[in-house]
């Protein structure tokens, strides 16, 4: 595993939602507080400005993303910037915005909401599948770590303030089956689980807010290793690159009075471990 490198030096107030588009070979990510979608391609850095918070995306086809904002899910044309509404997302609740999200192996898109000021238990986790948005879990403060086992039999998520990552069994169509179970308890270490991704071996990589690291856990929840980042507030990882062995990671500068050089930047590290290709969202 190599030393993390700066992939993009644009400082994000709250970097989140990295997505490696497998057909484009291109990374997209968000600055939630800056209301921006960012990327890099062969021409250099790119960004798109929005008039509300945006936080997560899945890919529909080569030129189209499904983007989650504080009020909706919408199609976004990468080349033209055109937007087309797909489904409202707590549009009648001015307290909340979208947060963490990822596509599941069945083509569904899981997306969380939270209070803009992290109001206690104001958030939820939804699944958009076959044209319908269904609430799966409620009464969550900071829902994070949404990711999926390679065989499609389990999802993972966390409420950051509870300091626990949960494992949720899924049925043959990708819906929750039974109650979620404890996967990793980070309370004793005082660690805060943020975004997460699962590699091809079924190991979960979790960005830990305030700990300047991304930790890897075995399928049974055992701690295996950690990647140290030059940013205190690591927020979310994603696998990408030609062999899916590059781990990208966003970070945040919000709340830091004097940000260090790395705070809020986006990083990459060659792991030698293959991730999963991000699943296509079926709209």
Active site residues: 194
> What Å distances lie between residue 176 and 71, 143, 147, 181, CA to CA?
24, 16, 13, 12
Name the nearest CA neighbour of 157 among 148, 170, 169, 144: 144
Question: 94, exposed or middle or buried, with CB in 10 Å at 0-12, 13-18, 19+?
Answer: exposed
Name the nearest CA neighbour of 184 among 149, 209, 220, 213: 220
Return d(Cα 247, Cα 240) in angstroms, integer: 6
109: tokens are 């898109």
Return d(Cα 268, Cα 2) in angstroms, integer: 9
Neighbours of 61 (CB within 10 A): 13
DSSP 118: -
Name the nearest CA neighbour of 194 among 228, 146, 150: 146
**Diameter over CA atoms, the chain:** 49
Per DSSP (E only), the strands in 62-212 are: 64-69, 72-77, 83-88, 96-103, 109-115, 123-129, 132-140, 143-148, 154-159, 164-169, 181-185, 192-198, 204-209
Radius of gyration from C-alpha coordinates of the chain: 17
240: tokens are 């990408």
The answer to whether the beta carbons of residues 73 and 109 sit under 8 Å apart is yes
Pairing verdict, β 36-41 and 26-31: antiparallel
């Amino acid at each position: 595993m190599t030393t993390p490198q700066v992939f993009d030096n644009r400082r994000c107030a709250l970097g989140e939602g990295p997505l490696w588009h497998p057909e484009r070979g291109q990374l997209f990510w968000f600055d939630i507080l800056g209301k921006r979608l960012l990327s890099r391609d062969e021409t250099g850095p790119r960004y798109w400005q929005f008039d509300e918070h945006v936080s997560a995306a899945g890919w529909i086809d080569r030129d189209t993303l499904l983007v989650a904002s504080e009020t909706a899910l919408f199609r976004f044309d990468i080349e033209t910037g055109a937007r087309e509404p797909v489904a409202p997302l707590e549009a009648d609740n001015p307290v909340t915005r979208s947060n963490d999200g990822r596509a599941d192996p069945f083509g569904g898109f899981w997306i969380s909401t939270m209070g803009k000021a992290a109001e206690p238990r104001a958030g939820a986790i939804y699944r958009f599948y076959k044209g319908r948005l269904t609430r799966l879990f409620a009464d969550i403060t900071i829902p994070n770590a949404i990711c999926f086992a390679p065989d499609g039999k389990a999802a993972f998520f966390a409420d950051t303030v509870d300091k626990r990552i949960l494992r949720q069994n899924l049925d043959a169509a990708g819906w929750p089956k039974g109650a979620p179970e404890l996967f990793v308890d980070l309370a004793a270490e005082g660690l805060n689980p943020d975004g997460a991704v699962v590699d091809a071996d079924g190991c979960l990589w979790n960005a830990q807010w305030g700990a300047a690291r991304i930790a890897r856990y075995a399928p049974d929840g055992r701690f295996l290793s950690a990647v140290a980042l030059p940013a205190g507030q690591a927020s979310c990882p994603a696998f990408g690159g030609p062999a899916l062995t590059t781990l990208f990671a966003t970070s945040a500068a919000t709340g830091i009075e004097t940000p260090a050089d790395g705070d809020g930047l986006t990083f990459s590290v060659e792991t030698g471990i293959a991730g999963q290709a991000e699943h296509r969202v079926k709209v």
